Structure 1
């Protein structure tokens, strides 16, 4: 089937005079997760992961993806004729380098310019410039071949009251316009969906698990134009728009508007978060100032209302995960439980929490060797049955009217071998070591990553992903600019860890064909002591779920490691006991009882 689809695509490429065609995993806004309408790359490759780019030539097809998906991609691409390119591995070229090596002078590269960022498009331009390569970006050529393509999603937006958002749209606009002025720009084109939702204090439902609406905005010193599908505009939002001087335009008319606008000054653009097609229009009409969206850094620092509500939500969410682990431990081996039914049970517990809106991502429930695939998805036809042996990794989270959660626990269900226990213990030690970090203001995540990774590096193991990502507030479970990762990337921005930034802490071990382990808490940066040496910072914990003592090997720990685990478990019990039944409290008391060396 995949080969047939690729044949049809190559036929269309021949008709259009295109030599190589690129299909990324993206909507028109560079979103991490996309609606089914935008899953063109999945349609033509069969690869279902959330990150990957397909490049098709007349005699080749290759898929580039990152270390989270190597195992999954290898399985899903089997028999398709598509070669897997493992990104950031030694000897593996990136896409611009590959095209530079394989395209010939005068040839044509094609892609839908709405699904490629300005940054990526400009890199390709620069790489292929000397070869006189033409870039054809004006059509969704591959998408047009997808006859059964779903419709573009549209759902009505909701307006967040200020008691939920903690800050008015007027205050946010003032801060953004100050940043625009400082950059020397008169205008700002905003395409990143979660930034736009934050700025306007609205939420949507156009991307599964991400409460965002497909939209663009164009800011001037006095006006805000919002481009949104007419079906999404409610009476409440119309009144809100009038009150806040929002000029509503049709989503599909963004390109026409930008092309026809009379520019009197510079336009602020984020190269990584504006698509190539819109960039080409804007750069032809006005001088562009390339800086990060000012909304991103402002959004990342949570205000007092947001932090207070997140603390409440995380306790309730933690209690749901505790209930799940208690249920699983008591019932595994006594009734049939599969990866899928386990996930459904946990999802059901979350839905009982007041203010629940949706999952923050599809629950990852991975048993034994399946857990080695970081973003494994259990399907009805292939979900493994869970037995009273080995371990189950569950990565999950919820969207609530008051916060976005993300938590991972790996649960021992029976005897596990000493090597796996060692790995589990080192992951726990690293997670707790980062939690207890004390650091000077000015540090980025690259300064801190070693605290989580060092226990694993000590035994010659690494995990092929970052340690932490920002967490949204009733928004995307992954957000920037903050992150915790070790690798230096030339040209990549690094964000200082600011007070109020919420971030995940999730080291892991992934051994193909054997096991996967991840332990994830969410932490928030706070200011500590300030003295002659500067402003010291620390992390507070939002997640309170026990770490499975049955998988801990204390011989792999130092006394300080045991002390940290015991302190954390003491807080888990104290914070959550009031949200549990008597039976669950009894189980939790034992699960959090002190360890001794």
Structure 2
């Protein structure tokens, strides 16, 4: 079926059921950011392959809401699909609900698959559309027309030992139960895959790039149940979980067990990380406490074992990145090199490192104007040849048995313009500004965001994405609860949190520049004013300074960069051959 034929088939079902608007979120029953192929509903329906969007269909309109990162990609991929792009004014906001309020008649009917809608989103629908007396129906209009829909993944899962996690499953369950006791609840439902992976020291391959396993968990005062396809685990791992006080039941049994939670008891549920379908199964006599999963905060605070292993991952990643930078700079314009082949070469450098499991997201390999697309994904049609000129942006990451990495570097390849030099220097200055910030305990991400953007704002320049995100430990490359962006999220940056700092400048049709390091929040000093924290640079890879306009940098920025480069050379050079060491020495020379 063409996308227009699929759209027509959805509308026919809507007409039969009396549904006026059909909403397709980018989600699965676990409220994941990255989805198993079975739940890539928007890609199936529209052809758009970005990771974040929402579709709304009526009889005379079909729109896809996406943010700044995807504007050009969506325009291209939605051509001749019957859908049109609706540009979000603010990232991560459900502006389509306002559109529904303005365009639907009173008492209209909205349909959506309740497995793909979070409790929070459902409540937002009701709050914003109450005035219209909207009715809601649980509908899945894709299943009847998705003839070759991928099955749920059956990849094997595995447990990782305390040697790598620093905490046992039993210890983590005790920490969660302590929080449950504070909330006076007897049960806790968890659907989010990264939380489950962290609690049970469980990893797998069910979702591309994120080493998680399709599962649910129900934790009670004296027992914990993990709902997972039974054949995913070895008998040894099953025994280990049992010894940790964990019962195993099949994945689909969660729906049954929720209906039999004892009357008059209580349950803790994260409304942002659980779907409406499961929520509606809980008996009305059960008291529901809606709060963030305790594990969300606990897993963000990396323990000493996780931090030390992350440093190993960063060293291994830095070796691979150094070899890649050398390969690109020495071969661009001499051999046939494209965005796709360069990304493959980078993966091969990472794969050569012991402990490499896979990439942490789809590499953004973006040459020249493609760099202006923050989430650009090269394909066979767009795959540009990389020549000895212009700027080449590479945003990539690895999953290692020792941790998760995420790094962006821009490689100048020749004949830079003055605008490119200035933009590159300003982005570098902004990144350093964020990385060298010292801040009092209690500081939130939006405060660091403003500090980081200041060097760009001084020149009347801004960027449309967040400055940084939390990063997991052999888990999701995007992890909460902390975030560094303009939104007033009241989450403080705490000791042990790993966060990215990645400002950028994007000039459509010309170039894109983003430079990214991961940092660890560490103690700085304590005085009569407060406890002060700082950022330790975790990422270990050279930053190209060949086009830096030194006069745009203050002494503090130059000092930070020189100190950082000394650290990079010290940590990486023992593992490089003589040619690689010479290359790194040149790349890290002082300004």
1:535 matches 2:552: no
Query: What CA distance in whole angstroms lies between the structure 2 residues aligned with 1:501 and 1:93?
Result: 28
The answer to whether the 8 A contact 1:481-1:494 is kept is: no
Aligned to 1:96: 97
The answer to whether the 8 A contact 2:261-2:283 is kept is: no
The answer to whether the 8 A contact 1:267-1:287 is kept is: yes
Query: What CA distance in whole angstroms lies between the structure 2 residues aligned with 1:290 and 1:414?
Result: 55
Secondary structure at the aligned position of 1:526 is classed as strand
Secondary structure at the aligned position of 1:337 is classed as coil
Aligned to 2:215: 215
Aligned to 1:151: 151
CA deviations 1:204-243 (Å, max 9, x no partner) are: 1100110100011111101111111223132122212221
1:515 matches 2:516: no
Aligned to 2:226: 226
Query: What is the count of residue pairs matched by the alignment?
Result: 589
Aligned to 2:67: 66
Aligned to 1:557: 553
Aligned to 2:427: 427
Question: After alignment, is 548-557 or 430-439 more displaced?
Answer: 548-557
The answer to whether the 8 A contact 1:326-1:587 is kept is: yes
Secondary structure at the aligned position of 2:209 is classed as coil
Question: After alignment, is 125-134 or 436-445 more displaced?
Answer: 125-134
Aligned to 2:134: 133
Aligned to 2:86: 85
Aligned to 2:49: 48
Secondary structure at the aligned position of 1:475 is classed as coil
Aligned to 2:38: 37
CA deviations 1:333-368 (Å, max 9, x no partner) are: 110100000000000011111011111111110000
The answer to whether the 8 A contact 1:40-1:143 is kept is: no
Aligned to 1:472: 472
> Mapping of 1:118-517 within 5 angstroms?
118-137=119-138, 139-282=139-282, 284-488=284-488, 493-517=489-513
Question: After alignment, is 122-131 or 96-105 more displaced?
Answer: 122-131
Secondary structure at the aligned position of 1:392 is classed as strand
CA deviations 1:7-36 (Å, max 9, x no partner) are: 111111112221111111111111111111
Aligned to 2:16: 15
Secondary structure at the aligned position of 2:523 is classed as strand
CA deviations 1:155-177 (Å, max 9, x no partner) are: 22111111011001111111101
Unaligned runs of 5+ in 1: none
Secondary structure at the aligned position of 1:281 is classed as coil
Aligned to 1:592: 588
**TM-score for both structures, normalised by structure 1:** 0.96
CA deviations 1:286-315 (Å, max 9, x no partner) are: 221111110000000000000000001101
Query: What CA distance in whole angstroms lies between the structure 2 residues aligned with 1:480 and 1:298?
Result: 10
Question: After alignment, is 335-344 or 381-390 more displaced?
Answer: 381-390
Runs of 4+ in 1 over 6 A off after TM superposition: none
The answer to whether the 8 A contact 1:506-1:520 is kept is: yes
Secondary structure at the aligned position of 2:114 is classed as coil
Aligned to 2:576: 580
Deviation at 1:106, TM superposition (A): 2.3
Secondary structure at the aligned position of 2:143 is classed as helix
The answer to whether the 8 A contact 2:118-2:276 is kept is: yes
Deviation at 1:283, TM superposition (A): 6.3
Secondary structure at the aligned position of 2:19 is classed as coil
The answer to whether the 8 A contact 1:301-1:499 is kept is: yes
Provide closer, same or farther for how the CA distance between residues 283 and 559 of structure 1 changes in structure 2, counting only shifts above 3 A. farther
Query: What CA distance in whole angstroms lies between the structure 2 residues aligned with 1:193 and 1:89?
Result: 27
Aligned to 2:521: 525
Deviation at 1:284, TM superposition (A): 3.0
Question: After alignment, is 558-567 or 110-119 more displaced?
Answer: 558-567
Question: After alignment, is 9-18 or 332-341 more displaced?
Answer: 9-18
Query: What CA distance in whole angstroms lies between the structure 2 residues aligned with 1:450 and 1:224?
Result: 43
Question: After alignment, is 281-290 or 106-115 more displaced?
Answer: 281-290
Aligned to 2:28: 27
**TM-score for both structures, normalised by structure 2:** 0.97
The answer to whether the 8 A contact 2:504-2:513 is kept is: yes
The answer to whether the 8 A contact 1:155-1:231 is kept is: no
Question: After alignment, is 47-56 or 244-253 more displaced?
Answer: 244-253
The answer to whether the 8 A contact 2:21-2:109 is kept is: yes
Query: What CA distance in whole angstroms lies between the structure 2 residues aligned with 1:568 and 1:93?
Result: 40
Question: After alignment, is 403-412 or 561-570 more displaced?
Answer: 561-570
Q: CA RMSD in A?
A: 1.5
Query: What CA distance in whole angstroms lies between the structure 2 residues aligned with 1:398 and 1:495?
Result: 27
Deviation at 1:262, TM superposition (A): 2.1
Secondary structure at the aligned position of 1:329 is classed as helix
Query: What CA distance in whole angstroms lies between the structure 2 residues aligned with 1:199 and 1:405?
Result: 21
Question: After alignment, is 390-399 or 234-243 more displaced?
Answer: 234-243
Deviation at 1:245, TM superposition (A): 2.1
Question: After alignment, is 66-75 or 112-121 more displaced?
Answer: 66-75
CA deviations 1:476-526 (Å, max 9, x no partner) are: 0110001111233xxxx4211111000001011111111111100000000
Query: What CA distance in whole angstroms lies between the structure 2 residues aligned with 1:495 and 1:282?
Result: 30
Query: What CA distance in whole angstroms lies between the structure 2 residues aligned with 1:494 and 1:229?
Result: 37
The answer to whether the 8 A contact 2:264-2:287 is kept is: no
Question: After alignment, is 497-506 or 76-85 more displaced?
Answer: 76-85
